[in-house]
């Protein structure tokens, strides 16, 4: 038994109930107010559950800012213990 009702991709003219879960783009929303959907997801009737855009942004920021420093640190440690 699932807590949320997974409904797939957000669709226009669809009756949604409380705790229905939909995907719109890279985001996942939970319905907080029963309603019939319009052409655009009404954020007053949904709560953001997961933001894939934010996760992707964090991963890209890590790769740009932190990954090169970790690579240099790893190399320094390996040199220090005579592995390289």
pLDDT in tens, 38-47: 999 999 999 9
**Pick from 52, 14, 55: nearest CA to 35:** 14
Give the pTM. Answer: 0.69
Q: 32 with 15: CB under 8 angstroms?
A: no
**Pick from 11, 59, 62: nearest CA to 38:** 11
Q: What's the pLDDT tens digit per position in 12-43?
A: 999 999 999 999 999 999 999 999 999 999 99
């Amino acid at each position: 038994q699932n807590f949320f009702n997974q409904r797939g991709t957000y669709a226009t003219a669809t009756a949604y109930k409380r705790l229905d879960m939909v995907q719109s783009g890279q985001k996942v929303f939970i319905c907080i107010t029963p309603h019939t959907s319009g052409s655009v997801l009404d954020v007053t009737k949904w709560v953001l559950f997961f933001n894939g855009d934010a996760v992707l942004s964090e991963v890209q920021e890590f790769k740009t800012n932190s990954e090169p420093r970790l690579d240099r640190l790893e190399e320094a440690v390996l040199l220090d213990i005579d592995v390289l």
